[in-house]
A and B are shown apart, each in its own frame.
Chain A
Amino acid sequence: AQSVAQPEDQVNVAEGNPLTVKCTYSVSGNPYLFWYVQYPNRGLQFLLKYITGDNLVKGSYGFEAEFNKSQTSFHLKKPSALVSDSALYFCAVRDGRDKIIFGKGTRLHILP
């Protein structure tokens, strides 16, 4: 069975600094990996995904994620954080045609 772990409950970053939100996964086959963002009292919004190809995936709002097969990781990154990036971020994994499983979420807090 697949699983996904987000080891940090909260990440604090100063505005303008680079940010990283960590995610590791476990699947039995080739992983389909996703990042979603949730703003307060809103539904989740898709940011980016990795299915195959280039290990560095670019997504919405300047975010990118790096797929690392040997470390089974898919960390979310952004070169320069904005206060408006403050939100709850979810990593998700799907194994083939199986269901999509979400991590517990990481709260990103960008300090002005």
Chain B
Amino acid sequence: SQTIHQWPATLVQPVGSPLSLECTVEGTSNPNLYWYRQAAGRGLQLLFYSVGIGQISSEVPQNLSASRPQDRQFILSSKKLLLSDSGFYLCAWSGWEGMYGYTFGSGTRLTVV
């Protein structure tokens, strides 16, 4: 069965510090991978998606970047965090495995102070 791991669960970072959130998927190959953010009082917003190694597309301009160094690894980064980067970040995967739907990781609560 497919599983998705995301870490860390919580993170408190000062403004201007770097960020690295990691997501890995097991039990599938060549998944589509996504980073979403849920800001306070808002729905889930798609930040980045990737259909393959090294292939990253961004939905909105922002202070963040994403990378996919391996087929089942997706990393969300920032060189210098802003206060507005605070939120709940979710990694997700989707793909044809005989079922529809997206599977989300457990999320990372990022607080920039």
Tell me, yes or no, whether A binds B: no
Q: Which residues of B contact A (CB under 8 A)?
A: none
Q: Which residues of A contact B (CB under 8 A)?
A: none
